[in-house]
Chain A
Amino acid sequence: MRITLVNVAYLVASLLFVLSLRGLSAQQSARRGNLLGTLGMLLAVAVTLGAVVAPDNKALAAGPSDLGLLAASIGVGAVIGAVLAARVAMTSMPELVAVLHSFVGAAAALVGIGSEMNGVRAGGAPDVAHHVEIHAGVFIGAITFTGSVIAFLKLRGTIGSKPLVLPARHALNASLVFACIFLAVAAFRGGEAVRVPYLLASTGVASVLGAHLVLAIGGGDMPVVVSLLNSYSGWAASAAGFMLGNDLLIVTGALVGSSGAILSYIMCKAMNRSIWNVVFAGFGDQGGVVPAAKKGEPAKKVNETNIDGAADLLLGAKNVIVVPGYGMAVAQAQHAVKEITTLLERRGTKARYAIHPVAGRLPGHMNVLLAEANVSYEAVKEMEEINEDFEETDVVVVIGANDIVNPSALDDPGSPIYGMPVLEVWKAGRVIMLKRGMAAGYAGVDNPLCYLDNTLMLFGDAKASVQKLLHAVSARAEQQAA
């Protein structure tokens, strides 16, 4: 295949990716966007295959064994991917996304190492720019890989979500970065014999750095971490593009990289924190201080309610808003919640959902869960859309959310989450808060909402509580109808 033809096909593929992202900007066009992206990818793979089988220079055509290996890896990879995609529960989306990021990171690092090996074999002194590209690509790839693996493990709960705060961790990070730079320089100067070993060593150091960076971030900051890693995986692909002189990789990587960067920015904005603060502050260590200082005070009183009380309140309400949080995802309670709101709607109650940008562990996670439970996306409102409506709302049901409904974010300058935009649920007539116990949210911050007069606490496992609530509401509704 002529190289220009290949490049034109790559150009078309990049345009398809651009259109794909554009399609995703609205619900109506999102599916077509996904389709366009798939098309672009198929085109790119097909053309690359063609280029590999029948290149301009016939001498470079791949041998049958290489092709077999190639076909096998594509096939096996695609099957594994398809199975993962079909099996994953929507509540586990964050884990899936994280593990997929790690694959991109690993692939980018492997491509970098492989091309360095080829370069050494081909001989000749390396070009500075190319050398930098390889080291940078491998560095980003390795960080993405181990960072995503750690994020995956944290999201799965295999390792605790508490941030790991080592003493002098900033110094540690800095020295790891310098070690990588040093290894790159040394490899350049050291000649062919050391180039590959030094690159491998650098990969190892970068892997440690990636793991350490994510270990230091608390579980609740995961939306930011996952979108940051999303961004990294794009930059890694872009770096590989520089390395191989391939514009398609550069463009696509840059698209993904900026997408992830924007998502991270939006998430940070939603928590009123800077990206530096999220990545380097080790949030847990600040948050812990405040509740500790309050330990001396007498326990404040909370109003508790039971299933029947909550059901009565809901049935009496004209206007209900449900605020789901990570707790609903963990408990997989979205279906039962949806059934409750459907019941209420049938009785003429206006039922809506309010989503905080950082609810859950992935940007937009709650929207996906509610969509899975067949909630119309028009009933699901963003924070800005609905915050003014709480005043006219009779009952707000908070399910497994804590910090995103914490009033101290607005009125307590001493609170670590002060300044974060929150859902102002306390303005509603009544707030029913489903909660396992009186534990603080992930930020370790006490929530004054629990002690307000118009807040009723419904303690218990979210799934069980929601199920019981559903039964109580439907039984009552039938009774009243009869």
Chain B
Amino acid sequence: MVEEVKASANAAPPAEPASGGQKPGGSAKDAGGEPKVSIGVLKEIEPRERRVAATPASVGRLVKMGLAVIVESGAGASAGFEDAAYAEAGAQIVPKAADVIREADVITKVRPPGAHPETGEHEADQLRAGQKLISFLWPAQNKELVERLAKRKATVLAMDAVPRITRAQKLDALSATANVNGYRAVIEAASHYGRLLGGQVTAAGRIKPAQVFIIGAGVAGLAAIGAARALGAMVKAFDTRPVVREQVTSMGAEFVPFEFQGETGEGQGGYAKEVSDAYLAAEQQLIAEHCRTSDIVITTALIPGKKAPELITSGAVVGMHRGSVIVDLAAEQGGNCALTERDRTVERYGVTIVGHTDLTSRMALQASELYAMTIVNLIDEIMGKKKTWELSLDDEIQRGMLVLLDGELKWPPPRPEIRGGAPAPAPKPPAHAPKPEVPESPWPGRIGTALALAFLTPVGLFGSQELVQHLTVFLLACVVGWHLVWNVTPALHTPLMSVTNAISGIIVIGGMLLAANGGGGGAPVAALLGAVAVLLASINVAGGFLVTQRMLRMFRK
């Protein structure tokens, strides 16, 4: 990481160190032309937060869009961006947070506004009426904060409320950070695990690969799968949404499916949803089973606007090997593991449980770059070509993210018209004219029923007990055969045919009974016919089985 910082510092060296701290382009409100909209960038006050809402590169983009940017001095320091680099990109550097809030029209942040740990001053209280704030907000969990902001008559857009639609992907800050988070979770787990993750065969013996179990195959989960696989671990992933199976397997992990009485965990907008108690219990049990055989468990299960579900019970932790590691990425929302302690790494029953909520911050440089770009894209979306702040309430993205409009509560947004889960692939438009679909005619079924009745009724009326018994056997065997053969892979259709061919040589039995002639009681011609039948059927039996064997031997992996 140190190297990365250097690299970026080299990429944008302060050209005029002397002018550092002074914005080259003059003040935010240029004399003459229309006053520019100014974007403020605050230094994060939360002690563990090292990210920043803007990078020199993103400042460059904003300036190019015709905006002024005001950056609090030292805002990017912990992420590896120096004031000089911001200034070089065209930002005005001001010494204090209060200066930024006073000057800027739009305030951008990473974390929700909070009280300063030293001065105790709350960021929200400094906003003025009509000022705009863009940051993570978690409005469902932070009701009090939203009220506080409402009192200031601020306009607030929550970066955690970006609707999951294709057009909004470039502003999807959650996905961008979750990706980093998932990767870092594996790194944390590996460092606490303290053993090799990849399997190796050495002259001194064999090292087994670590078993990694990932709960929740969202963006973070998938990133974790990729990272763990890259380190050589064996990875299983669990998710209640069956649609993610393909994504999981494409990343090289085994998918652990879960179904409970027809209930799936797929909620609105492609996110997971809250489920019933019985469902949760069954889910916990399945997870406990998989935890028992895993060395590293990474949980990423979140439900939007709700406390994270408790998926790993304390019992499940007890069942794990000593020295195993759980990384709980849901620690901020209450944790997926019953024993997670927020912002701490604890050892319980020999299992290390990592509950840090700042994993993304530990990769602050790149996480900031990604987050800053989503902010730039959002501002671009709002300002459009007019260069003025113009919220469009008809726009699904802007409406979805809007929490407060001049102090008026706008969240949650009205439900958009039904649009299926976004991550589920949209049905592909047919490349050609649609295939002619013959509507299922009910007649074959009806005719079949009629025929069956027409056949079975006389059997029931006139047939012997024996016949009925044979019919029972026959029909049941048909059902068995029907079910068996549907499972055969098409590649084996020819061997299947030759085997059934051989098996239908069972008629040899009939021939034998005939040829044996009932101890001389039968017709001599009949015995001869029987012998011929045996001859033919034996060809079938021998030929069929042998040729099948010959064929199957050729099939190889």
* B194 / chain A contacts, CB cutoff of 8 Å: none
B482 and A258 within 8 A (CB) = yes
B507 and A236 within 8 A (CB) = yes
Q: A271 at the A/B interface (Cβ < 8 Å)?
A: no
* B462 / chain A contacts, CB cutoff of 8 Å: 128-129
B500 and A21 within 8 A (CB) = yes
A52 to B534, CA, bound (A): 14
B433 and A410 within 8 A (CB) = yes
Q: B119 at the A/B interface (Cβ < 8 Å)?
A: no
A73 to B535, CA, bound (A): 5
Q: Considering the complex, which residues of chain B in the window 517-541 have a beta carbon less than 8 Å from any beta carbon of chain A?
A: 517-523, 525-541
**Among listed A156-164, A305-313, A372-380, interface-contacting one:** A372-380
A117 and B555 within 8 A (CB) = no
Q: A467 CB to closest chain B CB, in angstroms?
A: 22
Q: B41 at the A/B interface (Cβ < 8 Å)?
A: no
Chain B contact residue count (CB 8 A cutoff): 93
Q: B467 at the A/B interface (Cβ < 8 Å)?
A: yes
Q: B456 at the A/B interface (Cβ < 8 Å)?
A: no
B529 and A44 within 8 A (CB) = no
* B466 / chain A contacts, CB cutoff of 8 Å: 245
A363 and B494 within 8 A (CB) = yes
Contact of A114 among B493, B498, B529 (CB under 8 A): B529
Max chain B Cβ within 10 angstroms of own Cβ: one of A74, A108, A120, A377: A74
Q: B65 at the A/B interface (Cβ < 8 Å)?
A: no
Q: A49 at the A/B interface (Cβ < 8 Å)?
A: yes
CB-based nearest B residue for A235: B504
Q: B163 at the A/B interface (Cβ < 8 Å)?
A: no
Contact of A81 among B487, B542, B549 (CB under 8 A): B542
CB-based nearest B residue for A40: B503
A362 and B494 within 8 A (CB) = yes
B500 and A117 within 8 A (CB) = no
A454 to B355, CA, bound (A): 57
**Among listed B232-240, B322-330, B473-481, interface-contacting one:** B473-481
A267 to B227, CA, bound (A): 44
Max chain B Cβ within 10 angstroms of own Cβ: one of A73, A86, A424: A73
A244 to B507, CA, bound (A): 11
B513 and A52 within 8 A (CB) = yes
* B555 / chain A contacts, CB cutoff of 8 Å: 27, 30, 367, 371, 377
Per-residue interface assignment for chain B, residues 462 to 496, with 1 indicating a CB less than 8 Å from any chain A CB and 0 otherwise? 11101100100111011011101111111111111
Using A60-B518, A110-B533, A377-B491 as known contacts, say yes or no to A233 and B550 having CB atoms under 8 A apart: no
A63 to B516, CA, bound (A): 8
Max chain B Cβ within 10 angstroms of own Cβ: one of A63, A121, A238, A250: A250
Contact of B526 among A18, A41, A115, A424 (CB under 8 A): A115
CB-based nearest A residue for B508: A45
A249 and B507 within 8 A (CB) = yes
Q: A218 at the A/B interface (Cβ < 8 Å)?
A: no
Q: B547 at the A/B interface (Cβ < 8 Å)?
A: yes
Max chain B Cβ within 10 angstroms of own Cβ: one of A62, A236, A245: A62
A118 and B518 within 8 A (CB) = yes
A117 and B529 within 8 A (CB) = yes
B491 and A21 within 8 A (CB) = no
Q: A257 at the A/B interface (Cβ < 8 Å)?
A: yes
Q: A147 at the A/B interface (Cβ < 8 Å)?
A: no
A424 to B537, CA, bound (A): 43
Q: B8 at the A/B interface (Cβ < 8 Å)?
A: no
Contact of B490 among A62, A70, A240, A382 (CB under 8 A): A382
B488 and A254 within 8 A (CB) = no
Per-residue interface assignment for chain A, residues 378 to 389, with 1 indicating a CB less than 8 Å from any chain B CB and 0 otherwise? 101010000000
A70 and B507 within 8 A (CB) = no
Contact of B503 among A85, A93, A252 (CB under 8 A): A252
A107 and B473 within 8 A (CB) = no
Per-residue interface assignment for chain B, residues 15 to 42, with 1 indicating a CB less than 8 Å from any chain A CB and 0 otherwise? 0000000000000000000000000000
Q: Considering the complex, which residues of chain A in the window 243-261 have a beta carbon less than 8 Å from any beta carbon of chain B?
A: 243-261
Contact of B496 among A48, A85, A234, A364 (CB under 8 A): A364
Q: A287 at the A/B interface (Cβ < 8 Å)?
A: no
Supplied contacts A84-B543, A377-B555, 19 more A-B pairs, CB within 8 Å? A40-B503, A66-B515, A70-B515, A73-B515, A77-B538, A90-B551, A96-B498, A104-B536, A104-B540, A110-B536, A115-B514, A117-B523, A255-B484, A258-B482, A262-B482, A355-B491, A364-B496, A367-B490, A419-B435
Which residues of A are interface residues toward B (Cβ below 8 A)?
14, 17-18, 20-22, 24-27, 30-31, 33-34, 37-38, 40-41, 44-45, 48-49, 52, 55, 59-63, 66-67, 69-70, 72-82, 84-86, 88, 90, 93, 96-97, 100-101, 103-104, 106-108, 110-111, 113-115, 117-118, 120-122, 127-129, 226-227, 230, 233-234, 236-238, 240-263, 266, 272, 355, 357, 362-365, 367-368, 371-372, 374, 376-378, 380, 382, 407, 410-411, 413, 418-419, 421, 424, 427
Q: What are 23 A-B pairs with beta-carbon distances under 8 A?
A: A21-B481, A48-B509, A60-B518, A69-B515, A69-B527, A70-B512, A73-B534, A74-B534, A81-B546, A82-B542, A93-B551, A96-B498, A97-B501, A108-B510, A111-B511, A118-B521, A234-B500, A244-B510, A245-B466, A247-B473, A250-B477, A377-B491, A419-B435
Which residues of B are interface residues toward A (Cβ below 8 A)?
431-433, 435-436, 459, 462-464, 466-467, 470, 473-475, 477-478, 480-482, 484-523, 525-557
